[in-house]
Chain A
């Protein structure tokens, strides 16, 4: 295409700096696509340093990891990019785990509604606190985190990583529990009696982890909860003790105590909970 008009040099300079505005930008775009002379002039005018930086930015964007749906959402609501990345590596925040938790809740809600309609949602209340405990226990530690050992020796304090993940898992876990509670409207506020026990179990389980290990601590705490419910069930009728007003008070106090204890032992999360590794070739190499 031959033309007598060319993009003025000042416009080309502004174009290379990314400062040319519409409608001149549109004219320049259209013309540059057709005019080799102007493209040559543009190449001469372009600042090579800025051009290299531009290529590098483009290169960086092209192979930067794509954010998944949840990660994008977290960044959008203000979670720092690196924190969102740490959270995506949390095993229990993966879709398969969440689906499993949701399925368990759904079945429990259904069973609760059919077995004892209108009376006490005991089955649901007994199970709901265990799910956040399990989620938090599984999200930190060598059991499910394949990079646990690398994480332990990283400068990011172990307790900080633990808190980041705990908050995330608790938010999701309590959120799912909350949704399940909405499915039991007949019981009113009574159906929310799982919340304080859930916090109490999670805080106690975590606080005992440095001493008892990442498997024994949550199992023991979960077992104690079930034991307590069975004892309460055997010793009286009506609402089980943990779900009465007094029981709720105790659960709140245990949650606060557990959180305090957890804070006191925070430095213990800074070294591995696995004292010895017994690897494939045997022996404590």
Chain B
């Protein structure tokens, strides 16, 4: 697959901490999930790739444009849709007015064409019925869809979504996943999330970050495979396990390095993720 976004050696320090530490990655069309605990550097990586802050070191390119020059940055921004972690709204704007405002920021100056585009996008995210309603009167799920519509307006080739499913109830989350899956057709989408289910359901690639560094890059199946032979069941919590919990069946599910003859279980993406993080912190401690 053609690489659409690539970065090498991205580093950004804040005080003594490296929020990004030599991050190198390549993205292709489709949805790539970005997993990591709080403080892993996910938001910083997304803000750098979205050209909100320049990195201290390293370079990246988006759809062939180099953001280190003014003209290149402009071109990256023309190809970018960005949903920040805490998307802000002008609460007195209606959904239509807000997306229209973002469309103006995206240089759509022809009123007729812009309004047609805003209507198309609001239809696409199922908000046509409430497009005239003020944002402060919309539910959390609807607001999040307004923010997605603002990111999607102008049909950008690179979509950066920072934890868009946080705070949504399961039904809203499912609906949102459908929208992201649709958005991933013919586009490069980088989706930061805490939810391994988001990754399992949506992503063709997954990246795991911890302490500002990339810890894993591959397919969700490959991340799951990190835990192959490292998940087992026992009647009591196995003290050798790195993590263990009692399941609904009353037995314990352990992840780590199983003792000999252990009753091995089929690993999940979550197991693979937990072990990748655990290996990362063990490496830091060592």
Interface residues, chain A, with chain B CB atoms under 8 Å away: 56, 60, 63-65, 80-82, 85-86, 89, 145-157, 161, 267, 270-272, 274-277, 279-285
Contact = CB atoms under 8 A, between A and B. Distances in A.
B39 A285 contact: yes
Given A270-B73, A282-B38, A284-B44, A154 B112 contact: no
A63 B96 contact: yes
B284 to A, nearest CB: 15
The main secondary structure of chain A at its interface with chain B is loop
A153 B135 CA distance: 22
A284 B87 CA distance: 17
Contacts of B114: 82
Given A64-B115, A153-B80, A271 B105 contact: no
Given A63-B131, A150-B87, A271-B54, 6 more contacts: A146-B90, A147-B89, A154-B105, A155-B74, A276-B44, A284-B19
A60 B112 contact: yes
Interface string B76-112: 0110101011111111011011001110111111011
Contacts of A152: 52
Interface residues of B, number: 53
Contact of A85 (B39, B78, B104): B104
The main secondary structure of chain B at its interface with chain A is mixed
B154 to A, nearest CB: 9
Given A85-B100, A155-B107, A277 B43 contact: yes
Given A60-B112, A152-B52, A281-B38, A146 B88 contact: yes
B30 interface: no
Given A155-B74, A272-B47, A285-B43, A89 B90 contact: yes
A284 B39 contact: yes
B119 interface: yes
B192 to A, nearest CB: 9
B244 interface: no
Contact of B82 (A145, A150, A161, A282): A150
9 contacts: A86-B104, A147-B88, A148-B88, A149-B84, A150-B105, A154-B102, A155-B107, A284-B14, A285-B40
What are the 6 tightest A-B residue pairs by CB atom distance, in nearest-first order? A146-B88, A283-B39, A154-B105, A155-B77, A285-B43, A65-B97
B132 interface: yes
Contacts of B84: 149-150
B221 interface: no
B89 A60 contact: no
